[in-house]
Amino acid sequence: MAEQTVSIYRSMKDLPSTHLLGTGTPMCSGCGGLEALNQLYDIIGNKSVFVNAAGCMTLLSVYPFTPFRGSWLYTAMASAPAGAQGVRDALDILIQKQRMSADEDMQVVVLTGDGAAYGMGLSATSGAMERNLDFLYICYDNEGYGNTGQQFSAATPHGAKTATSKGPRGYPGFKKDLFAIWAAHNPAYVATVEGAEPVDLARKIEKAMTMKGPRLLIALSPCPPGWDYDPKETVNVGKLAVKTGVWPLKEYIDGRVVHTKIPRERKPVEEYLKLQGRYKHLFEPQRNEKLINEIQDKVDRYWDSIDL
């Protein structure tokens, strides 16, 4: 099924105009993760169980409130995919043994941040893919341990200032390529999304919902407190991540990686970096040309290596 059936989401006007996810959550204003989740949840729907790992979004469901119209299970930081395994298997067993009608079935959705997805929970995710678990995985990637005050994680990009990389060169490591690691397991579907690209996001979750097996999405999630920018800029930051080529929108399907929104004329990464306080040390007190070029080169090399 290399050729995708026609999406019902061709433009912004096809997107749902009301949201399923409740309001008044304790997420920060301008949360890019919530921006993405809001849109994803509209299409996933309330026939779902969200299995959550420790992170910012654990605070979505605080007794006795929840913004979810469906079900929720908090597990621990490392084992949300294993929780999804237990729920999925139980629902299958109940249907198979005719103790539950198939109408009562639900989509099982893992919801974690990058701390769990890129690090502590990677083994559990790998195991779930190995076992061909029928589940959705949503990673809201705000490129650091955001809930504890934005220490660097395996998802932090090179040069970014975090609470544990405050030096003049920022984070010395490089963002782990989780998309490639996930895709190497040959699951049904892997995609990157961005909340500020709603049509691309809608098409991907729509596609994922038609499939069985492991389907995993990484949503780059601009984070006003963690990335140090004004909350009103979230959409802008997200759009620039795509337009500069920093965050390639792509999907892995049938053994192939397809780029779904190619920035033909990429904006300089500087435009993306300049908006965020976490890169301020690249421009002030003096411009760190070398580090800016390093970041630009890495993005250029990526796109040069892609057979578009």
Partner 1 sequence: MTRKLLTGNGAAAWGARLAATDYIPAFPITPQTEIIETISVWIDQGEMDARMITMESEHSMITAAASAAASGIRVFSATSSQGLLYGMEMIYTVSGWRAPFVLVNVSRGLASPITLEPDHNDIMSARDSGFLQIHCATCQEVLDSTLMAFRLAEDARIRLPVIVNLDGFYLSFTREPVELPEYEDAQKFVGAYDPENIRFRASSPVSQAVAVLGGAPYSYFRYETHLAAQNGLVVYDELQKEFANQFGREYPAIEAYQCDDADIVFVMLGSFATKAQAAVDQLRNAGKKVGLLRPRLLRPFPAEMFQNLLADKAGVAVIDQNISMGMGGVLHSELAAALYGHPHAPPRLLSFIGGLGGRDISLEEFFEIADVTQQAVNTKQTPPPRLMYTEQELREMRKLQAVASVERNELNNSGGAKNG
Q: Which residues bind partner 1 (CB under 8 A)?
A: 46-47, 49, 51, 58-59, 61-63, 66, 68-76, 78-79, 81-87, 89-94, 97, 100, 103-106, 123-124, 126-127, 130-131
Nearer to partner 1, 76 or 235 (CB): 76
Nearer to partner 1, 46 or 293 (CB): 46
The H or E element containing residue 305 is helix 289-305
Q: Are 137 and 122 in contact (CB under 8 A)?
A: no
Nearer to partner 1, 158 or 185 (CB): 185
Nearer to partner 1, 64 or 255 (CB): 64
How far apart, in whole angstroms, are the C-alpha atoms of residue 259 and residue 6?
A: 17
φ and ψ of 274, to 5 deg = -60, -25
β-strand pairing of 71-74 with 256-261: unpaired
Smallest separation (angstroms) from partner 1 to the CB of 58:
6
Q: Please give the C-alpha separations between residue 221 and each of 38, 77, 140, in angstroms, as whole numbers.
A: 12, 19, 6
Smallest separation (angstroms) from partner 1 to the CB of 216:
16
Which structure tokens are listed for 141? 């990637």
The H or E element containing residue 43 is helix 32-44
Which structure tokens are listed for 160? 């970014």
Q: Identify the residue whose tokens are 């299970």.
A: 73
Smallest separation (angstroms) from partner 1 to the CB of 132:
11
Nearer to partner 1, 81 or 170 (CB): 81
Smallest separation (angstroms) from partner 1 to the CB of 60:
9
Smallest separation (angstroms) from partner 1 to the CB of 217:
21
